Amino acid sequence: MTTREGVLEALFAVLQTVSGPKIMRNDPLPEKIPSEGLLILRDGEPGEPEVMLSPLSYYWEHSASLEVFVQAVDGDTRNQKMDGLFQNIAAVLATDPTLGGLCDRVTPQAPDTDTLAIEGAPSVHTAIVPIELIYTTASQLG
């Protein structure tokens, strides 16, 4: 397994400890949002690495993203559910900011939020949380 995949799998495993929402990785958005919310980890973009020559290694600032979805009839309820998920995500990521030593640092960034109106259904509050993953590999393939 590549370091890149190991880091992403470890991040996914940590996110699975967030209590409440359904958690998926790289899956399409389902037709129904579970009542406790939904998190979808997207592998994102590793970007261009910095190259270190001795020994030859590649330093990555990989940007994964976490899509967060909550659905409720009432706007206050949606906002409270989203805020609760943000708190839980931050707490879980803070428990192991190196993912067991697989990366130098895991840093969640400020979310970009939106609300989607769904005809005939409660609105969905959405957020994309960029997650910066800093790690080093021996190959550009990760």
Domains of the chain (ranges; CATH) run 3-137 (3.30.70.1700)
Per-residue pLDDT of the chain (142 residues; tens, 9 = 90+): 999 999 999 999 999 999 999 999 999 999 899 999 999 999 999 999 999 998 999 999 999 999 999 999 898 999 999 999 999 999 999 999 999 999 999 999 999 999 988 888 899 999 999 999 999 999 988 7
CB 142 within 8 A of CB 103: no
Q: CB atoms < 10 A from the CB of 123, how many?
A: 16
* pLDDT recorded at residue 118: 84
Structure confidence at residue 72 (pLDDT): 92
CB 79 within 8 A of CB 103: no
What one-letter code names the amino acid at 113?
T
Listed as own residue / partner, the contacts of 75-79 with beta carbons closer than 8 Å and 24 or more positions apart are 75/115, 75/123, 78/115, 78/123, 78/124, 78/125, 79/125
Q: Is 65 within 8 Å of 129 (Cβ atoms)?
A: yes
pLDDT at 131: 98
Its pTM surpasses 0.85 = yes
Token reading at 78: 């949606």
